[in-house]
Structure 1
Amino acid sequence: MTTMARQTAAPPTARGSEIRRHELAAFLRSRRERITPEQVGLVRGARRRTPGLRREEVAQLSAVGVTWYTWLEQARDIQVSVQVLDALARALRLDASERTHLFQLAGATDPTPAASCPNVTPALRAMLTRLEPIPACIQNSRYDILAYNRTYGRLMGDLDAIPPEDRNCLLLVHTDKDWQAAVVNLDETRRLMAARLRASLAGHLGEPAWKVLLGRLEEIPEFRENWERYEVVGTRSKTKEFLNPYVGHLTVEHTDLWLGPRLGARMVTYTPVDDDTWERVERLHALASAAPVS
């Protein structure tokens, strides 16, 4: 009996994978059932009996096949890409903890920037603070905002209110009304940012985080139009203008300070170019410092 049990029992790794698949299936069902159709812009209908969303609705919102998503909820042994996990996390409106749990159950690494980044050291954060009132942040070559000081956090609205996984400059200039209203010469800015992203992409082809970002951006017609131009530009210092919602018009000098060639991380600073902007930036810093911490 013992010998037979030893021969037929699944190896520990296989048992662990099966347990994770069932946990993933249960987690997806629980998250699906808590979301109402109205929350995602769907019509409930008089004959609906399913609590929350139907499987086909989650599949539609995530742009995946209904059969494939059904297999996920049935705990079948299928491969799940990080792009699909990212789409499911957004469709199911997962918060940061739930998103982390989803990727852990799937045995995958979340490619989007988290609330804190190991590449942003305490020394770099101290530098951001010391630069105030000058707005400054740390970005990577995908335009992910990895860290920022208080003045930058109020430069184009309230960055603290935006989920960490959505703090990407290219996404925000296409999807966030506050950012769009704050950026002077919005169309030109979008075009140049797309060209800069394409220049950076050459060194990151096939990387999951880049695939996830491009998947989101290519759903936006304005980005897609600029992306299909196949323009490429390098980095350079330049004068930029913002219409800040708190203190008004700002004219600043944009400067990139490169932190390391491998990941393309850079410190971005916006130095006022005239006395009026200096005065307004100082007022913006005072407002940001007085705001409660999110």
Structure 2
Amino acid sequence: MRSNEHRSELGAFLKARRMELTPDMVGLPGADRRRRVPGLRREEVAQLASISTDYYTRLEQGRRLASEPVLDAIARVLRLDDDEREYLSELSGRDSARPRRRSGQKVRPLLGRLLDSLHDIPAVVIGRRMDVIAWNPMASALITDFGRLPERNRNYVRLVFTDPGVRALYPEWENVARTCVAQLRMEAARDPKDPRLIDLIGELSLRDEDFRRWWGSHRVAVRSMGTKVIRHPVVGDLTLDWDTLSCVTDPDQQLVTWTAERGSPSHEQLRILASWAAEAAH
């Protein structure tokens, strides 16, 4: 059974998505347009999902959970994407049998060996709460010297919002930060009672208005792959592709790498950065 936190978040998430839709968007062109609030009404969502309004209302109020077919119907009505559907699955308890561990994480041996072998590629291992639990010298050269930070501060989201040096790396900082918040909310669905996660969300909500607003939007995302522009103080602007490799023996750990197409200016800049990092180490 899901916790009260899961039920409350499920209701808030459904409401947030419902408020972004209009009758025209879901095929209700004849609906009354004189509305006191934006978005679809609860009864409209219920009608489109072929469930009773009372059933949907109780679901959104956090007073009950829904079956898989009902959630699938609601996801279709609310036009949820794949990441949002996975988030809905987490909140509804479909994967609730997997135990939640809150003890300190140590990098898995396989990921550690892969990390050590990537001499010219920046790479980190991201754990629960998006903590950075391991890194190679190239990651320190590209992002920040993780070794100088207290362990509790080695969190990627925290660095993006609170470290001026890390923040300055991203010319498109808002896009990067929004994605971080969406990924962190996915983490919260997996273990909403994690004390360190609760502390992190509370700290960032107090310190940063943008974080507080974006957290309240209930957007979610899964770490997968993408492209980032990084404005590095030593080698200049780089356009890097990032990708993730999940650990089968510990799904809460992922190896994240930053690479550039061979022969591109960014690839050459990474080689220069590798030489600079080696000289700095000596």
TM-score by length of 2: 0.58
8 Å CA contact 1:174–1:222 kept in 2: the answer is no
Q: Does 1:275 align with 2:250?
A: no
How far apart are 1:112 and its partner, in Å?
A: 8.9
Q: 1:164 to 1:290 in 2, by over 3 A?
A: farther
Contact 1:141-1:197 at 8 Å conserved across structures: no
- C-alpha displacement at 1:262, in angstroms? 5.4
Alignment-mate amino acid for residue 111 of structure 2 = L
Q: Does 1:234 align with 2:222?
A: yes
Match of residue 244, structure 1, among 232, 236, 245: 232
Q: Which residue of 2 aligns with 1:191?
A: 178
Instruction: Name the larger-Rg structure.
Output: 1
1:146-161 aligned within 5 A:
146-161=133-148
Aligned partners of 2:142, 2:174: CA distance in 1, in Å? 19
SS state of the match for residue 291, structure 1? helix
Task: Give the 3 Å change call, closer, same or farther, for CA 292–134 of structure 1 in structure 2.
Answer: closer
In structure 1, runs of 5+ residues without a counterpart are 1-110
Specify the SS of the correspondent of 1:235.
coil
C-alpha deviations, 1:252-280, integer Å up to 9, x for none? 11101011475521000111135211111
Give me the identity figure in percent. 28
1:237 deviates by: 1.3
Quote how far apart the aligned CAs of 1:174 are. 0.8
Whole-Å separation in 1 of the counterparts to 2:115 and 2:241: 17
Deviates most, 256-265 or 276-285: 256-265
In structure 1, how many angstroms separate the alpha carbons of the residues matched to 2:136 and 2:115?
A: 5
- CA distance in 1 between counterparts of 2:249 and 2:212 reads 28
Q: Which residue is equivalent to 1:217?
A: 204
Classify 1:159/1:262 alpha carbon distance in 2 versus 1 (closer, same or farther; 3 Å): closer
Aligned equivalents of 1:249, 1:112: Cα separation in 2: 38
Aligned match of 1:131 in 105, 114, 118?
118
Number of aligned residues:
179
CA separation in 2, counterparts of 1:279 and 1:264? 33
Question: Structure 1 residue 160: deviation in Å?
Answer: 3.0
Q: CA 1:112 to 1:288, structure 2 compared with 1: closer, same or farther past 3 Å?
A: farther
The CA distance in 2 between the partners of 1:129 and 1:243, in whole Å, is: 25
Deviation for aligned residue 1:156: 2.4
Contact 2:158–2:204, Cα closer than 8 Å, also in 1: yes
Q: CA deviation at 1:181?
A: 0.8
Q: Residue by residue, what CA displacement relative to the aligned partner does 1:127-156 show, whole Å, maximum 9, x if unpaired?
A: 112112110010014111000010111112
Deviation readout 1:76-110 (Å, 9 max, x if unpaired): xxxxxxxxxxxxxxxxxxxxxxxxxxxxxxxxxxx
In 2, Cα distance between equivalents of 1:130 and 1:278: 18
- Output the amino acid matched with 1:280: Q
Whole-Å separation in 2 of the counterparts to 1:135 and 1:262: 22
Measure the CA separation in 2 of the matches of 1:197 and 1:122. 25
Equivalent residues in 2 for 1:105-116 (5 A)?
none
Q: Distance in 1 between matches of 2:250 and 2:198?
A: 18
Give CA-to-partner distance per residue, 1:180-204, whole Å, 9 cap, x none: 1101310111111111111221111
Shift of 1:157: 3.7
Q: Where in structure 2 are the equivalents of 1:25-104 lying within 5 Å?
A: none
Change (3 A) 1:284 1:226: same
Kept after mapping to 2: 8 A contact 1:112/1:165? no
In the alignment, is residue 204 of structure 1 matched against residue 191 of structure 2?
yes
- How far has the Cα of 1:125 moved from its partner? 2.3
SS of the equivalent of 2:120 reads coil
Check if 1:265 corresponds to 2:259.
Answer: no
1:284 CA displacement: 1.1
CA RMSD of aligned residues (A): 2.1
What is the TM-score of this pair, normalised by structure 1?
0.56
- Cα distance 1:213–1:112, how it changes in 2: closer, same or farther (>3 A)? farther
- State the Cα distance separating 1:216 from its structure 2 match: 1.8
Q: Which residue of 1 aligns with 2:152?
A: 165
- Contact 1:134–1:269 at 8 Å: present in 2 too? yes
Indicate the residue corresponding to 2:275 in structure 1. Answer: 286
CA separation of 1:136 and 1:173: change in aligned 2, threshold 3 A: same
Answer yes or no: is the 8 Å Cα contact 1:239–1:253 preserved in 2: yes
